[in-house]
Amino acid sequence: MANSCHITDSELYSKYIKLAGPAIEKYGGKFLARGGQQTKLEGESFERTVLIEFPSIEAAKEAYHSEEYKEALEFSSKSSVRHVVIVEGL
Q: What is the pLDDT of residues 7-44, one digit of tens each?
A: 999 999 999 999 999 999 999 999 999 988 999 899 98
The answer to whether residue 90 is domain-embedded is: no
In sequence order, which residues have a C-beta less than 8 Å from that of residue 90 and are 6 or more positions away?
none
Domain interval for residue 15:
2-37+46-85
Q: What is the pLDDT of residues 8-18, one digit of tens each?
A: 999 999 999 99
Within 1-90, strands assigned E span: 2-7, 30-34, 48-53, 80-85
CATH number, domain with residue 29: 3.30.70.100
**For the chain, how many structural domains are there in total?**
1
pLDDT bin (cut points 50, 70, 90) of residue 4 is very high
The answer to whether residue 33 is domain-embedded is: yes
The answer to whether residue 71 is domain-embedded is: yes
pLDDT at 5 over 90: yes
User: Average pLDDT in the 44-54 region?
Assistant: 94
Which pLDDT belongs to residue 53?
98
